[in-house]
Amino acid sequence: MPIVNNAVYVNGRRSADPKSLEETYEVLRERKGMAWIGLYRPDVEEIRSVAREFELPELAVEDAIAAHQRPKIERYGTTLFTVLRPAQYIDVTEEVEFGELHIFTGRDFVVTIRHAETPDLALVRQRLEEAPELLKLGPEAILYAILDQVVDEYAPVIVGLENDIDEIEDQLFKSDPSVSRRIYDLTREVIEFQRATHPLLEMLAALENGFENYEVDVELQRNLRDVTDHAIRIIERADAFRILLQSALTVNSTLVSQQQNDEMRRLTMASLAQNEEVKKISAWAAILFAPTLVGTIYGMNFKHMPELRWFYGYPLAIGLMFATSITLYFVFKRRSWL
């Protein structure tokens, strides 16, 4: 259902619960209060209806329809258009899920358009309705409360990312082959988180600069400064995570290179040992080949071999085989082949 909550407030108290946008417009004209319309993934016609009634700026309306906007705050006369990127940490998948929230704030209305489950604006509405004196301060009170809720919901994300980084540090020194991919995925999530949070400081500063021009209540000023303090801490933690992951990636690359070097060294040593064995085998093969050659020649028993009937032929052949083998043995020994 696109309209998740729809109410008109008078003097900080809920005065009516219209069932449709048209009824909201009528009640607001009659009671001269403040409307807070909460839309969840509305269609184009619903956004156009709100835009026509509250005379929303066309450029901001087009952004709200297209979605996928960066966090920003823009002022169009008396209307503020704010885009936030809320986030939540999913424990099951160990991933960060990002949403998108558009807020139109005018003199007597607040229109919130959510494109994801987060943030939980029901909590914001409940907290403000329990503090009518604060809600009576107008649309700015709602905007600041929403900013506070979004920043507060960043805290569990920080805890989840911190746990993931701790696990990566353990994986690094266990030679887990999947750690490189996990570092890459987590770095991508941290970068996305930084894109969601870094613009907050500029946005909050812009709101603070308008305190005097728009006569913002002192209590709201304190609330916004508190949101700024929380946002600064969140951003600093995210920046630290980015540095840690870059260091982890460097350490992982070093460890992988070291493992590759150790493997190359092991292969080199194995190759050298194999070469030594081959040299020994080749040397003994050559030593055995010499007497085999002599014996083969004189074993052919041709009739016209002069040495066959010579009295010293046999001793000469034996001596030649022995002398050749001994000579080759010392030659190979001298060359450290044996």
Q: Is the pLDDT of residue 212 over 70?
A: yes
- 105 assigned to some structural domain: yes
Q: Answer yes or no: do 57 and 141 share one domain.
A: yes
Helices (H), 136-178: 139-172
Rounded alpha-carbon distances, angstroms, from residue 92 to 87, 88, 170, 193, 238 = 15, 12, 20, 19, 21
The rounded distance, in Å, linking the Cα atoms of 217 and 141 is: 9
Q: What is the pTM of this model?
A: 0.76
- 266 assigned to some structural domain: no
Q: Answer yes or no: do 54 and 185 share one domain.
A: yes
Q: Answer yes or no: do 191 and 324 share one domain.
A: no
- 263 assigned to some structural domain: no
Domain end among 198, 230, 258: 258
Longest Cα–Cα distance in the chain: 143
Q: Answer yes or no: do 280 and 163 share one domain.
A: no
Residues 231 and 158 sit within 8 Å (Cβ to Cβ): no
Q: What is the pLDDT of residues 215-233, one digit of tens each?
A: 788 888 899 999 999 999 9
- Domain span at residue 292 reads 273-334
Q: Answer yes or no: do 221 and 277 share one domain.
A: no
Q: Answer yes or no: do 64 and 178 share one domain.
A: yes
Q: Is the pLDDT of residue 1 over 60?
A: no
**pLDDT at 301 (0 to 100):** 66
Domain end among 258, 293, 325: 258
In terms of Cβ atoms closer than 10 Å to its own Cβ (0-12, 13-18, 19+), residue 193 is buried
Q: Look at 274 and 153; give whichever has higher pLDDT.
A: 153
Domain end among 200, 235, 258: 258
Give the confidence band of 240 by pLDDT, cuts at 50, 70, 90.
very high
Rounded alpha-carbon distances, angstroms, from residue 25 to 28, 39, 47 = 5, 15, 14
Q: Look at 68 and 192; give whichever has higher pLDDT.
A: 192
Q: Any idea what the CATH number is for the domain that residue 126 is in?
A: 3.30.460.20
Q: What is the pLDDT of residues 275-319, one digit of tens each?
A: 777 777 777 777 777 777 777 776 666 666 666 666 667 777 777
Share above pLDDT 90 across residues of the chain, in percent, rounded to a whole number: 48
Question: Residues of 88-119 as b/e, b for ≥16 C-beta within 10 angstroms?
Answer: bbeeeebebebbbbbbbbbebbbbbbbbbebb
State the Cα torsion 113-116-121-122 to the nearest 10°: 110
Average pLDDT on 44-51 reads 92
**pLDDT at 188 (0 to 100):** 93
- 103 assigned to some structural domain: yes
Q: Answer yes or no: do 55 and 116 share one domain.
A: yes
Q: Is the pLDDT of residue 152 over 90?
A: yes
Average pLDDT on 128-145 reads 92
Number of domains, the chain:
2
Q: Look at 294 and 65; give whichever has higher pLDDT.
A: 65
